[in-house]
Chain A
Amino acid sequence: MRALRRFLNRVINLARRREQDERLREEIEEHIALQATENLRTGLSPVEARRQAMLKFGGVEAMKQDYRAERGLLFIENLLGDLRNAGRTIRRMPGLAAVIIVSLAIGIGVNTTIFSWIQMILFQPLPGVSGASNFLLVEPRTETGGYPGASWLEYRALRTQVPALRDIVAFQVVPFQRGETGQTERTFGQLVSGNYFSALGLKPAIGRFIRPEEAERPGTEPVIVISYDFWQTRFGGAPGVVGQKLRVNERDLIVIGVAPREFQGTMLPLKFELWAPATLAPALLGGTRDLEDRSIRAFSLIGMLRAGATREEAQAELSTAMAQLARDYPEASAGIGGEILPFWSAPRGPQRMLISGLAILQGVMLLLLLAVCGNTANLMLARGSTRQREMAVRVALGAGRWRIVSLVLSENMLLALLGTSLGAAIAVWGTMALRVAPMIGAFPIRFQTRVDELTLSLAILLGAACGLIFSAAPAVHLARLDPQDGLRSSSNTPPRSRARKVLMGVEVGLAMVVLIAAALFLQSFRSARQTDPRFRPEGVLLAAYDLSGRNPDEASEREFAARLLERLRSLPDVEAAAIATNVPLDLHGIPARSFTVQGRVRTEAGQDITISNTVTPGYFKVMAIPLLEGNDFAEMGDRAAPAQAIVNEEFVRLYLNGADAIGRRLQTSEGSFAIIGVARNAVYNAFGEPAQPAVYFSYRDLPAIQGEIHLRTRGGNETALTSEARAVLRDLDPMLPLYDVRTFSQHIERNLYLRRIPARMFVVLGPLLLGLAAIGIYAVVSYAVARRTREIGVRLAFGATSGRVVLQIIRENLGAITWGTAIGWALALVISVRAITKGVINLPVFIGVPAILLGVATLACWIPARRASRIDPMAALRHE
C-alpha cells in the first residue's frame, strides 16, 4: 500500500520535475542559511560560518542525485533523456541514419509482406469465412500418393460417415459462358453442394443462398448465387437483381442472392463469381456424368471440425469410410484412401503452388534482414569508435556501464523504431499492391492480404530483434572502454577493432548465402522455362470453343470438330491443326483416369491411373511429339476403324514392362480401345515433373462438347492466325465465340505466374542486397581510413606511393571479406547440395556470385582508400 502510494507519487513527480527541483534548491538554501546564522552566533566570521554550514551539509550534488532518485522514476527519466539524446545524435548523422533506416525498412517491409501472405494462407484460407482455420481439406489419396479429388457419389457417402467433421461441403471449378450466344463473357464459378453456404456460415449480402433441397436431385430449380463484385460491376449493385434471369452456358438461371463482399470462393487465391448447385452440372456442362460416375473425381471437399473433435478422429473416420467405399465399389474406389489435411498443406491446386515458393522466400528474406543487421551493427561500431572520447568523458563523469549501454541501446532502438515504422508502411503498400487483382490470363486472382495486428506485431518484433542485434556489438565495445585510455588517446591512434572486421566478414558471408540462394532460385525458375517440354510450344496458337447449351449429340460434336479442322487446315498459314480437350501445363492440370490394360495383372488391390487427353488426328504433328511406334489416329470421318488409343513411353515402361504395346486392348469406363501407337514422353502438368504415364484417346471416338484448337503456323507469327481462326469459326457458326485465344508460350507463362512473383522479388532484392553490402564495406573502410589520416600522412611523407597505400588498405580489409565470402560460399554449397539440387553444383552461380561480390567489395574498399591516399601529407600531419 505504502509502496504503491510512493510509486504513484513518483509517476506524478515525473511531470513536475522542474517545480520540484526548484523546491529542493530553496530548501537547501534555507538550511544552509539557518546553519550559517547559528554558526555566526558561535562567533565565526560570516565567510567561515557559511563554509562550515556547507561542510556540514555535505555534497550537494550527490544529495540532489539521491533526492531525484527518490523522487521520480529514475529509469524512465533516464530513458527519456537517452531518447532525446538519441534523437539529437541521429539528426547529426543524417546520411548514415538514412542508410540504416531505409535498409532496415526494406528488410522488415519485405518480411512483413511475405508474412502477411503466409498468414493469409495459414489463418484466412477462406476469405470472408469466419473461423476458416477450423476447416480442413478432405482429400482422397491413391496408393501411389496422388490426390485425384472426390466424385459426387463419394461425397454423398462421406457426408454422413465422418461425424467428426460438422458438415462436409463439395465444390468444383467450372468455366461459365455468361450472356447470349455470340456475345458471351467467360467467368469462373463453382458448382457446389447444397450445404455449401450454410456450412461456411455465410450471410448473403442480399437475397438468399442455395437451399440444400436445391442440390438434391438433378434438374431441381435452376438457381445461381453471384459474387459481390459481379453484382456491383454487372448489375450496378441494384437490389432488384434477386429474381432476375442470368444466362449461363445457354441456360436461364435465376439469381437468388449475392455473396458477401469478402467471399471469393473456396480455392485460394482464385476468385470466383458464380455459384450454382452441383446438381445443375449435367444441364450446364453438356450432359456430364459427374453426378453418377464414381470414376469422375471432379470435386474438392472441405469440412469444419466439430467442437471437441480432433483431426485424428476425423482421419480415422475418413479412413474407415474410404475403406468401406473401396469394398463396395472396387472398380472406382479400390486402393483409394483419404487424408484430412489443413489448408496450408494442400497437396494440389493453386494453394500448393503458392505455399512452396513463399516458404523459401521467407527464409531467404530473414537471412537478408540478418545481413542488414550485420551491416548496421558495423556502421554503428565504426561510428562508435569515433565516439570513444565522448563515452570516456561520460564514464569519467560517473556514468555507469549500464548508462552507457542504455545510451547506445536507445540510439539504436530509435533507429530500429524508425526503420520499423517505414517498414510497416512498405508492408502496407506491398500488401495493397498484392490486393490489386492480377489476372492469370482469363483466370482472376484475388489476394486479400492485409497488415493486421499479427503482421504488425511481427514487424515490431523483427524491428526490436534487429535493434538488439545491431546494438550488441557497439554497446559492449563502448561499455568496456577504459575512460583513461579514451581520454588520453587522441583520435588518430585507432585501436584495431577486430569486432568490426569480423562483423564485416559475417555480413559479407550472409550476403553471399542470400545472393547464391537468389541466384539458384532464379536459375531454377529460368531453367524451368527453358526445360525442354518435349513438345514444341513455339509457333502454336491456342483457342477454345464451347458447344455447351447447343446440347449437341456426339455425332454433331464430331461433325463440328471435323469441319472446323478441315477449314483450319485449308488456311494458307496453317501448317497443322488439331483439337484436344486438354492443354498441357494448364493451371488445373490434366485429368487422370483409371483403366485396365491387356497383359497387365495387378498383384495388389487398387487400380492403375494415367493422365489422359482426347485429341484429333494431327495433334502429334502440331505439338511436335514424335510417334515412336505405330501410327496417328484414324481420320475423323472414318467410321470403320475400331476405337483407338495411343500411349506414351512411360506408360509402356510402367504398365507393360516395356513389352510391345501395339495391338493390346485398353479398357476404361468409357469402353475398350485398341492401342495403335506409342508417343514420346512429354511434360504434362509441370516443368521438372518425373515422367508420367499418359494415354491419348481419339476425338473421333470420344467427341467432347468443348475443345482447345491447336494451330501450328507455317512460319511467322502465330498470333497472326487469330483473325483467320475467328473468321473460320464465324463461318461455321456465326453465334459461337472463340475464347481464351493465346499463344502456347503465353499459356506457359500463365502456368508459371505464381512462381514468377517470388522470382521477381529476387531480381529486385539481389542487387539491393549487393548495394547494401557495398555501403557497409564502404562505410567501415572509410571510417577506418579517416581515423588513420595521420599514419597515412606519415607514410606518404616517407615516400610511400599512393598506389602502395591503396593496396595496403584494400589488402587489410579484403582479408576479412574473403573469409566471410568463403564461409558463406561453403555454407551455401552445403545447403545447395544437401537440399536443393541434390548433389548437382551449379557452377556458373557458385563462381559468378562470389566473383561479383568480391568485385563489389574491392570497389567499396578502393574508393575510400584512394581518397585517403590523395591527401596532402603536410595537411595530414598538421591535422592534429
Chain B
Amino acid sequence: MVLKTLDVLGPLHGYGIARRIEQISGDLLAVNQGTLYPVLLKLEQEGAIASEWGASENNRRARFYRLTREGRKQLQVETQDWEQTAAIIARFFEVKTEDLP
C-alpha cells in the first residue's frame, strides 16, 4: 500500500502517506498512524524507498519518502502476485457446486 501510494503521488512525508491510506480505504483502515513508521524504516532498509529532508506544508522540516527503482520493481512483482492471488480467491467464490463435474 505504501509503495502504491508513493507510486501514484510521488514523494510524500509520513503524514501524507498515512492520510492517503486512510482516504483510499475510506477510513476503514484507521489503525494507529504510528505503526507506519517502522514499516517505512523496513522498506527503506530493504532499499525499496529512499528518504530525504524537505519542507512540509507548514514550512517545517519533514522527511520525504520516494520510491526507488528497486521499489518500483518490487511493486510490480507484488502487484502481480496480488492480482494472481486475488484472481484465485475470486474464482473460489464464483464456483458453485453444480459447476463441478
* Residues of A bordering B, CB below 8 Å: 2, 5-6, 9-10, 23-24, 26-28, 30-31, 33-35, 37-38, 56-60, 62-63, 66-67, 69-71
Q: Which chain A residues border B42 with CB–CB below 8 Å?
A: 6, 70
Does the CB pair B60–A30 fall under 8 Å? yes
Q: Which chain A residues border B31 with CB–CB below 8 Å?
A: 58
Nearest residue, chain B, Cβ from A2: B46
Q: Which chain A residues border B46 with CB–CB below 8 Å?
A: 2, 5-6
From B13, B18, B34, B45, A5 is in contact (CB under 8 Å) with B45
Q: Which chain A residues border B33 with CB–CB below 8 Å?
A: 31, 35, 56-58
* Per-residue interface assignment for chain B, residues 16 to 42, with 1 indicating a CB less than 8 Å from any chain A CB and 0 otherwise: 001100000000001111110110011
Q: Which chain A residues border B32 with CB–CB below 8 Å?
A: 56-59, 63
| Interface residue B94 (Cβ < 8 Å from any Cβ of A) | no
Q: Which chain A residues border B30 with CB–CB below 8 Å?
A: 56
In the complex, which of the residues B31, B38, B46, B61 has the most CB atoms of chain A within 10 Å of its own CB atom? B38
| Interface residue B62 (Cβ < 8 Å from any Cβ of A) | yes
| Interface residue B58 (Cβ < 8 Å from any Cβ of A) | yes
| Interface residue B57 (Cβ < 8 Å from any Cβ of A) | yes
Does the CB pair A34–B57 fall under 8 Å? yes
Q: Tell me how far the C-beta of B8 lies from the nearest C-beta in chain A, rounded to whole angstroms.
A: 20
Bound Cα distance from A66 to B41, whole angstroms: 10
For the complex of A and B, list the 6 residue pairs with the smallest distance between their C-beta atoms, beginning with the closest.
A58-B32, A63-B34, A9-B45, A58-B34, A34-B15, A66-B38
Bound Cα distance from A171 to B47, whole angstroms: 72
Bound Cα distance from A23 to B18, whole angstroms: 18
Bound Cα distance from A31 to B40, whole angstroms: 14
From B41, B47, B60, A2 is in contact (CB under 8 Å) with B47
Nearest residue, chain B, Cβ from A68: B38
Q: Which chain A residues border B13 with CB–CB below 8 Å?
A: 27, 30-31, 34
User: Which range holds the interface residue count of chain B?
Assistant: 20 to 34
Nearest residue, chain A, Cβ from B74: A2
Majority SS of interface residues in chain A? helix
| Interface residue B4 (Cβ < 8 Å from any Cβ of A) | no
* Per-residue interface assignment for chain B, residues 54 to 86, with 1 indicating a CB less than 8 Å from any chain A CB and 0 otherwise: 001110111100000000000000000000000
Q: Which chain A residues border B56 with CB–CB below 8 Å?
A: 30, 34
Nearest residue, chain B, Cβ from A70: B38
Q: Which chain B residues border A71 with CB–CB below 8 Å?
A: 41, 45
The answer to whether A10 and B35 touch (CB under 8 A), given A27-B14, A30-B15, A30-B60, is no
Bound Cα distance from A345 to B47, whole angstroms: 63
Does the CB pair A70–B18 fall under 8 Å? no
Nearest residue, chain B, Cβ from A7: B45
Does the CB pair A30–B34 fall under 8 Å? no
In the complex, which of the residues A10, A31, A62 has the most CB atoms of chain B within 10 Å of its own CB atom? A31
Q: Which chain A residues border B38 with CB–CB below 8 Å?
A: 63, 66-67, 69-70
Q: List 8 A-B contacts (CB under 8 A).
A: A26-B63, A30-B56, A34-B58, A56-B32, A58-B32, A58-B34, A63-B35, A71-B45
Bound Cα distance from A35 to B13, whole angstroms: 12
Q: Which chain B residues border A66 with CB–CB below 8 Å?
A: 35, 38
Nearest residue, chain A, Cβ from B30: A56
The answer to whether A67 and B37 touch (CB under 8 A), given A9-B45, A58-B32, is yes
Q: Which chain B residues border A60 with CB–CB below 8 Å?
A: 34
Bound Cα distance from A31 to B14, whole angstroms: 7
From A24, A33, A63, B60 is in contact (CB under 8 Å) with A33
Q: Which chain A residues border B47 with CB–CB below 8 Å?
A: 2, 5
Nearest residue, chain A, Cβ from B22: A56
Q: Which chain A residues border B45 with CB–CB below 8 Å?
A: 5-6, 9-10, 70-71
Does the CB pair B15–A70 fall under 8 Å? no
Q: Tell me how far the C-beta of B42 lies from the nearest C-beta in chain A, rounded to whole angstroms.
A: 5
The answer to whether A27 and B41 touch (CB under 8 A), given A35-B15, A56-B32, is no
Q: Which chain B residues border A28 with CB–CB below 8 Å?
A: 34, 37
From A6, A27, A37, B37 is in contact (CB under 8 Å) with A27
Q: Which chain B residues border A30 with CB–CB below 8 Å?
A: 13-15, 56, 58, 60-63
